[in-house]
Amino acid sequence: MINSVTRSELTVATALTRTTFRQLLRQYGIMLVFVLECLIFALWTEYFFTVPNILNVVNQIVIYGIIAVGMTFIIITGGIDLSVGSVVAIVGVVTGLILRIEALPASMLVLMAILAALLIGFLNGALSGWVITRFNLAPFIITLAMMTVCRGGAMLLSGGLSIGNLPREFAWLGRGHLGIIPMPVIIMLVVFVAGQLLLSQTTFGRYVYAIGGNEEATRLSGVKTRRVKFWVYALAGGLTALSGVVLTSRLGAGVPNSGLMYELYVIASVVVGGTSLSGGSGRISGTFFGVLIIGVLYNGLNLMNVSSYWQQVILGLVIVAAVLLDNYLKRNQ
């Protein structure tokens, strides 16, 4: 009798230990991966922990980070958006065209360009969200179509050429500093904090999780799921446009072929950050570390002189590993 009780207690204790380990892995595993990654690259190359290189990493992740916040919302609902890179391109072109108007003061042109860019991104996301929800179509197909439309639009408006000679007043947004902190970094951090509050502290955020967990049950409980998904895509479109404005300011030109492969980097960052592609789970804080991990990965591989072709292979393997880990944690939850 004593032995059977002891075995039962040991079984329960083992199960609790495994459950606790999985919970800790889900919550803090992403931070552990980031720390280990930094240590590996720091030991491999002496230039990794230098101030110029750290600033370089931060500047590289800003554009992806802003887009990744909106993508996190979309993926949590069980959707996807493949048009983000093309939206960045068309936003850059439209911004450049507006800023080249000579009949108005530069300060007015900057305001008009930013508002027009945000409107374009919002409308793109809103249109995608409306078509997806109204006709119950796959987000993959609709956003793939919008990717083609926006890329073609960018090429048509620019004639395939970059639009440069932009006003100096516009450069501050992408290359200015507030004290010692680059302005793009401040914008990214504000977006992450706002995204975290919206997702974790509001009713809208709870609906986003509920839709990803079980959309039909959420709809039957009285939630207007179509409206929520519509605003998720519209929000993501606006954030993508914001990143396009920052990139255009940094480059000093509207480049019609900018944003290539951005969807891959952004989705990879969100998935590596712990957001499930099947929807229903994910955190903005995890996405932040996911963006850092992808940024540090590319930076470290560049410092090690690893071929860009191998970098693509490694990124693909990282995505596969993240998906397998998420699948393992879900099966054993």
Asked, for residue 236, whether it belongs to a domain, the answer is: yes
- The residue-averaged pLDDT of 47-55 equals 87
Closest to 147 measured CA to CA, from 80, 221, 204? 80
Look up the domain containing 317 and give its range.
49-331
Asked, for residue 22, whether it belongs to a domain, the answer is: no
Asked, for residue 176, whether it belongs to a domain, the answer is: yes
pLDDT of 214 higher than 70: yes
pLDDT of residue 320: 84
Token representation of residue 266: 């952004």
pLDDT of residue 102: 82
- The residue-averaged pLDDT of 32-59 equals 88
Asked, for residue 39, whether it belongs to a domain, the answer is: no
pLDDT of residue 256: 96
In the DSSP assignment, the letter for residue 177 is E
pLDDT of residue 27: 60
For the stretch 104-142, pLDDT in tens is: 888 899 999 999 999 999 999 999 999 999 999 999 999
For the stretch 198-213, pLDDT in tens is: 999 999 999 999 999 9
In the DSSP assignment, the letter for residue 254 is B
- Mutual orientation of helices 84-99 and 139-158 as an angle, nearest 10°? 30
pLDDT of residue 33: 85
- Residue 68 C-beta-side C-alpha neighbours within 13 Å: 36
Token representation of residue 268: 């990879």
User: How many structural domains compose the chain?
Assistant: 1
Closest to 185 measured CA to CA, from 288, 267, 89, 300? 288
pLDDT of 314 higher than 90: no
For the stretch 85-101, pLDDT in tens is: 999 999 999 999 999 98
Q: Of residues 191 and 57, which shows the higher confidence score? A: 191
pTM of the model: 0.91
For the stretch 2-45, pLDDT in tens is: 455 565 655 555 544 655 555 555 566 788 888 899 999 999 88
Asked, for residue 13, whether it belongs to a domain, the answer is: no
- Domain CATH code at residue 219: 1.10.3470
For the stretch 160-183, pLDDT in tens is: 999 999 999 999 999 998 888 899
Asked, for residue 105, whether it belongs to a domain, the answer is: yes
